[in-house]
Structure 1
Amino acid sequence: MDLFRFPPFPDSLYDALGYPKEGKCSDILIISREEADAYYAAAERCFRDVDSAAEYFIGSRRLDELGIPDYAVPVIERTYREYMRHPHMLGRFDFAGGLDGLPIKLLEFNADTPFSIFEVSSLQYALAKHHELDPDHFQYNSLFEQLRDFFLDLLPAHAGRGVLFTNAADGEDDLNTLIIKDAAEHAGLTGTYLHWTDVCIDRERGLCSVDKSGTYIEKIFHLMIKMVPWDLLFLEDEHMARELLRSMERDPGLVVCNPPYAAVYQSKALLPFLRRIFPLNPHFLPADTAPLPGVDQVSKPIWGREGRNITFWENGGTTAATDGFYAQQPFIYQQKAELACDGTHYYQAGVFISAEVPCGLGFRRGTSRIITTDDAMVGHIVDHGDIRNRPALRRYLISLN
Structure 2
Amino acid sequence: MRRLYGTARLGWEAEIESQGLVYNKTTVPGEDPRSYWREDVFYDFTADEVDTLADVTDQLFAACVEAGDVALADERLLDRMRIPRDARDVVRATWDAEPPSVYGRFDLWWDGKDTPRLLEFNADTPTSLVEAAVVQWAWHLETGQGRDQWNQLDDRLVAAWQRNLSRWEGHHHRKPVVHLAWTAGDRSGEDWMTVAYLADTVQRAGYEAVVITTEEIGLDTGDARFYDPKGNRIDVVFKLYPWEWLLADEYGPSVIADIRDPGGTTWIEPVWKLLWSNKGLLPVLWQRYENDPVISRYLLPAFFADDPRAGELAATGYARKPLFGREGGNVELVAPGGEVLAAQGGQYGAEGWIVQQLCALPDFPGPDGPHHPVLGAWVVDGEAAGLGIRESDGLITDDLSFFVPHTIGYQRPPNTSWSA
Fold match by TM threshold 0.5: yes
1:93 matched residue in structure 2: 106
Q: Counterparts in 2 of 1:181-330, with a 5 A limit? A: 181-203=199-221, 204=223, 206-210=225-229, 218-235=231-248, 237=249, 239-252=250-263, 254-279=265-290, 280=292, 281=295, 282-290=297-305, 291-293=310-312, 294-314=315-335, 315-330=337-352
1:382 matched residue in structure 2: 408
Q: Counterparts in 2 of 1:1-400, with a 5 A limit? A: 1-7=2-8, 10-20=12-22, 21-22=24-25, 23=35, 24-26=37-39, 27-61=41-75, 62-83=77-98, 86-97=99-110, 99-133=111-145, 138-156=148-166, 157-158=168-169, 160-169=175-184, 170=186, 171-203=189-221, 204=223, 206-210=225-229, 218-235=231-248, 237=249, 239-252=250-263, 254-279=265-290, 280=292, 281=295, 282-290=297-305, 291-293=310-312, 294-314=315-335, 315-343=337-365, 344-383=370-409, 387-389=411-413, 397-399=418-420
Structure 1 CA distance, aligned partners of 2:414 and 2:3?
14
Contact 2:258 2:264 in 1 (8 A): no
Secondary structure at the aligned position of 2:101 is classed as: coil
Structure 1 CA distance, aligned partners of 2:408 and 2:384?
16
Q: Which runs of 5+ in 1 are unaligned?
A: 212-217
Structure 1 CA distance, aligned partners of 2:156 and 2:287?
32
Secondary structure at the aligned position of 2:251 is classed as: helix
Structure 1 CA distance, aligned partners of 2:17 and 2:60?
37
Contact 1:31 1:381 in 2 (8 A): yes
- CA deviation map 1:68-115 (0-9, x unaligned): 1111111111111101xx032111000111x33132110100110101
Q: Which runs of 5+ in 2 are unaligned?
A: 26-34
* Deviation for aligned residue 1:139: 0.6
Structure 2 CA distance, aligned partners of 1:390 and 1:155?
50
The percent identity for this pair of structures is 23
Contact 2:328 2:344 in 1 (8 A): yes
* Deviation for aligned residue 1:122: 0.7
Structure 1 CA distance, aligned partners of 2:148 and 2:208?
31
Structure 2 CA distance, aligned partners of 1:322 and 1:328?
15
- CA deviation map 1:171-221 (0-9, x unaligned): 10111111111111111011211011101222405121136xxxxxx1101
* Deviation for aligned residue 1:39: 1.3
Q: How many residue pairs were aligned?
A: 381
* Deviation for aligned residue 1:117: 0.7
- CA deviation map 1:351-395 (0-9, x unaligned): 1101111112011101101011211110000115xx21268xx58
C-alpha spacing 1:292/1:5, structure 2 compared with 1 (3 Å): farther
| Amino acid aligned to 2:229 | V
Contact 1:351 1:359 in 2 (8 A): yes
